[in-house]
């Protein structure tokens, strides 16, 4: 018997900037991600020199063509439908709608593109889960306004929200305001469009930007419900189970502190207020927030309808981290857990951690949960007969889905599961194509070479069965 509820939303997730390509087509402006080079050229380093951007040495930017989803979406959605997808998660590229971010009127060609895409999903019987800001704030808002540190960006964001909330009323049901909103603490550029290279106290700028995002998220929730009472609005964090290195109380406290860094973001979205330890936290970090009259009331009045999170790995925290080996990760890493295997990119594989974190979140907030990213980034080999035997990916997903089922049986309310990168796409962390997550293989390499041909992997057939049996045959 299935542990998953009857109308469970099985599906997959992608993001505009990692899949669409067509970076300067039909009036689209530049996004932050469009000026990040590939891994060879130090994608991470580019965070610290973003203003040099495309004017410098790089001749290849992974997002510019990506997997060409912009042009190929009909065939791609058709293949996802063949697996039986009930929901498709993607994001809207903000600079497709407002090229520089600060225009008064939206770009009609951008709006029409998403209308066609969403209609195509609907025609295939899929619900839509749409991320409003997935790491691709318009470059203009970074360059001219200093990104989310500037309060004016709240208004630009709300103009953007109004345009898409009004336009897609009959097409979209689930919205996420910010992808992995807690990432701002790890990457100011990606998470907040911030230039903090020369800041004396980068945390001051990050937390101020974060406050603006909280206000923006609450006001977007209000606006969405005014426009369409059926809209469901969610927040999202990069989720992880966090374990103490040992049972030494100081290690346990360290893990608790690390966990709070994530829950902080959810507390505000769900409970509508900053947690009780905020004052001390800010004092210790020399942070003083500018909170305008009415802000705290806004946070309190417009909490989210559901809570979304990504889950790839668990992390370990210790009182003394200096002498310990570290694990991999895209935005942050932690201490290696000797009990866990890891992916080729060094991410720790911990299916039980998904059960732990799902239970934790439900115990804490009692809001419907949506697992909106989970998956294994791996190198795939195409055999002579065009098959791809990605049993390692099936193993990873099977164990995670099994633990999610256990969490549901434990009592957590979970409305859906969208595995990450259901069709291969450009990695956010490294810009590589070789780090593949998909059920569908795309013929393209790290240098952007390839035919863009799509192939069904072994996991494609496996996931189709998972969906058809509502998770009982995994």
- Asked if 174 contacts 128 with a C-beta cutoff of 8 angstroms, the reply is yes
38 binds ligand BG6 (CB under 6 A): no
The residue within the footprint of ligand BG6, chosen from 38, 47, 127, 180 (CB under 6 A), is 180
Looking at beta carbons only, is 208 or 430 nearer to ligand BG6?
430
435 binds ligand BG6 (CB under 6 A): yes
269 binds ligand BG6 (CB under 6 A): no
Identify the active-site residue in 20, 180, 373, 432. Answer: 373
Smallest gap from residue 17 Cβ to ligand BG6 (A): 8
65 binds ligand BG6 (CB under 6 A): no
In the chain the first and final C-alpha atoms are separated, in Å, by: 12
Looking at beta carbons only, is 50 or 146 nearer to ligand BG6?
50
Q: Pattern 273-312, binding to ligand BG6, x per CB under 6 A?
A: -------------------------------------x--
Per rule CB under 6 A, count of chain residues that contact ligand BG6: 15
Smallest gap from residue 420 Cβ to ligand BG6 (A): 5
446 binds ligand BG6 (CB under 6 A): no
Q: Is 297 marked active-site?
A: no
Looking at beta carbons only, is 420 or 463 nearer to ligand BG6?
420
Looking at beta carbons only, is 179 or 327 nearer to ligand BG6?
179
* Number of residue whose CB is nearest ligand BG6: 429
Q: Pattern 317-356, binding to ligand BG6, x per CB under 6 A?
A: -------------x--------------------------
Give how far Cα 75 sits from Cα of 3, 17, 421, Å.
32, 19, 16
429 binds ligand BG6 (CB under 6 A): yes
Query: Binding to ligand BG6 (CB under 6 A): which residues in 230-259?
Result: 238
Looking at beta carbons only, is 149 or 428 nearer to ligand BG6?
428
Query: Binding to ligand BG6 (CB under 6 A): which residues in 374-403?
Result: 377
Instruction: Write out the catalytic residue numbers.
Output: 373
Residues making contact with ligand BG6 (CB under 6 A): 15, 18, 179-180, 238, 310, 330, 373, 377, 420, 427-430, 435
């Amino acid at each position: 018997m299935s542990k998953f509820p009857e109308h469970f939303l099985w599906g997959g997730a992608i993001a505009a900037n990692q899949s669409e390509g067509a970076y300067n087509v039909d009036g689209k402006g530049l996004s932050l991600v469009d000026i990040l080079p590939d891994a060879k050229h130090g994608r991470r380093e580019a965070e610290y020199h973003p203003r040099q951007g495309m004017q410098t040495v790089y001749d290849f930017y992974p997002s510019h063509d990506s997997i060409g989803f912009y042009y190929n979406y009909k065939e791609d959605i058709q293949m996802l439908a063949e697996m039986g997808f009930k929901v498709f998660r993607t994001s809207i590229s903000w600079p497709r709608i407002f090229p520089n971010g600060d225009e008064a009127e939206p770009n009609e060609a951008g709006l029409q593109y998403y209308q066609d895409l969403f209609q195509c999903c609907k025609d295939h019987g899929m619900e839509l889960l749409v991320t409003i800001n997935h790491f691709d704030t318009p470059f203009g808002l970074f360059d001219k306004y200093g990104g989310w540190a500037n309060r004016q960006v709240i208004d630009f964001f709300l103009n953007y929200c109004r345009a898409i909330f009004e336009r897609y009323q009959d097409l979209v049901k689930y919205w996420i305001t910010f992808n992995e909103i807690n990432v701002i603490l790890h990457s100011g550029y990606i998470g907040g469009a911030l230039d903090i290279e020369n800041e004396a106290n980068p945390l001051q700028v990050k937390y101020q930007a974060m406050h603006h995002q909280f206000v923006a998220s609450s006001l977007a929730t209000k606006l969405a419900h005014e426009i369409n009472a059926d809209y469901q609005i969610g927040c999202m964090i990069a989720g992880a189970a966090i374990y103490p290195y040992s049972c030494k109380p100081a290690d346990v406290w360290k893990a608790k502190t690390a966990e709070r860094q994530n829950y902080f973001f959810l507390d505000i979205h769900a409970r509508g207020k900053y947690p009780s330890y905020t004052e001390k936290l800010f004092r210790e970090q020399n942070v003083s927030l500018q909170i305008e009259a009415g802000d705290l009331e806004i946070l309190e009045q417009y909490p989210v309808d559901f809570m979304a999170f990504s889950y790839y790995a668990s992390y370990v925290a210790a009182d003394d981290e200096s002498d310990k080996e570290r694990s991999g990760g895209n935005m942050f890493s932690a201490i290696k857990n000797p009990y866990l295997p890891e992916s080729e990119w060094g991410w720790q594989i911990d299916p039980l951690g998904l059960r732990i974190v799902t239970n934790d979140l439900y115990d804490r907030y009692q809001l419907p949960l949506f697992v909106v990213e989970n998956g294994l980034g791996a190198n795939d080999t195409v055999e002579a007969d065009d098959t791809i035997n990605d049993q390692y990916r099936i193993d990873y997903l099977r164990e995670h889905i099994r633990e999610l089922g256990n969490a549901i049986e434990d009592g957590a309310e979970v409305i859906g599961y969208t595995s990450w990168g259901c069709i291969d796409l450009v990695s956010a962390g490294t810009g590589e194509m070789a780090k593949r997550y998909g059920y569908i293989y795309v013929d393209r390499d790290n240098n952007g070479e390839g035919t863009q041909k799509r192939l069904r992997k072994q996991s494609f057939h496996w996931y189709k069965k998972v969906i058809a049996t509502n998770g009982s045959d995994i």
